[in-house]
Amino acid sequence: MLLRILAAALCLSLVQPRCSDPDGTELKLFFSECHKDKTHSLNITNVVILNEHGEDNYPINMKKLMNLKVESTNKGSTLNSIIADIELQYYGSILWGACGWHNVPTFGLLHGIKECYNCPLKPGENVLELRYDFSPYASLIRTLAGGGVYAMDIALRDGENTSNEVGCLRIESKISN
């Protein structure tokens, strides 16, 4: 496990911080739908990230509890629970390459996260509350704590039918030092 984390740290140490911030992330959070090739019953309309005190959290401090308020429209059946798989990416250039998104290996640590603190989500307009406490992943977070722009692709699955991806949210944000 430690070897994997060290390998991830080595990969990130090769990244050069000379790229301009993408998608307006210099000033604010950017979000969009991901896995657009799939049909989702949960459509995301707005995202706000708050800290543990309910205050705006930008740039994001991943060393502390992160609360997401996700405004959505559920066009499917009632969701009693949600499971999330998170993929992490860093924006920059590696060695002399072009600026772009690069996968950050998490080795499955951010898969199968139980979500939905205000379920059930009935059909129609909802505010989905998601909470992420990354403190158990302190070694990975220390690698990221140098700042920069990161993206999380959060695939949301029906907790009662985990093969059913009900939504996918991409969040791009600066990470605070």
pLDDT for position 71: 96
Alpha carbon separation from 76 to 43, 92, 146 (Å, rounded) = 10, 38, 40
- Domains of the chain, by residue range, sit at 2-174
Taking 60 as the threshold, does the pLDDT of residue 10 lie above it?
no
* CATH code at 2-174: 2.60.40.770
Residue found by looking up tokens 């979000």 in the block: 31
Q: How confident is the model over 55-64, as a mean pLDDT? A: 84
- Give CA–CA dist 69/71, Å, rounded: 6
Q: Residue 84 half-sphere exposure, CB side, CA atoms within 13 Å?
A: 21
pLDDT: which is higher, 13 or 39: 39
pLDDT digits (tens, 9 = 90+) for 77-91: 999 999 999 999 999
pLDDT of the residue at 134? 74
The strand pair at 149-158 and 113-115 is best described as unpaired
In the predicted model, is pLDDT for residue 43 greater than 80?
yes
Would you say the C-alpha torsion 92, 97, 100, 101 has a positive or negative sign? negative
Does 139 score more than 50 pLDDT? Answer: yes
Q: Mean pLDDT for the chain?
A: 85
Give CA–CA dist 177/111, Å, rounded. 25
pLDDT of residue 2: 43
SS3 per-residue string spanning the chain: CHHHHHHHHHHHHCEECCCCCCCCCCCCCEEEECCCCCCCCEEEEEEEEECCCCCECCCECCCCCEEEEEEEEECCCCECCEEEEEEEEEEEEECCCCCEEEEECCCCCCCCEEECCCCCECCEEEEEEEEECCHHHHHHHHHHCCCCEEEEEEEEEECCEEEEEEEEEEEEEEECC
User: pLDDT for 82-120, tens place per residue?
Assistant: 999 999 999 998 888 899 999 988 888 889 998 788 899
Q: How far apart are CA 142 and CA 155, in angstroms?
A: 24
The model's pLDDT over 140-152, given as tens digits with 9 standing for 90+, comes to 666 655 678 999 9
Flag whether pLDDT at 64 surpasses 50. yes
Q: Give the model confidence (pLDDT) of 121-133 as tens digits.
A: 999 999 988 888 8
Among the listed residues 119, 115, 107, 104, the one whose alpha carbon sits nearest the alpha carbon of residue 153 = 104
pLDDT at 175 over 70: yes
pLDDT bin (cut points 50, 70, 90) of residue 76 is very high
Number of Cβ atoms within 10 Å of the Cβ of 42: 23
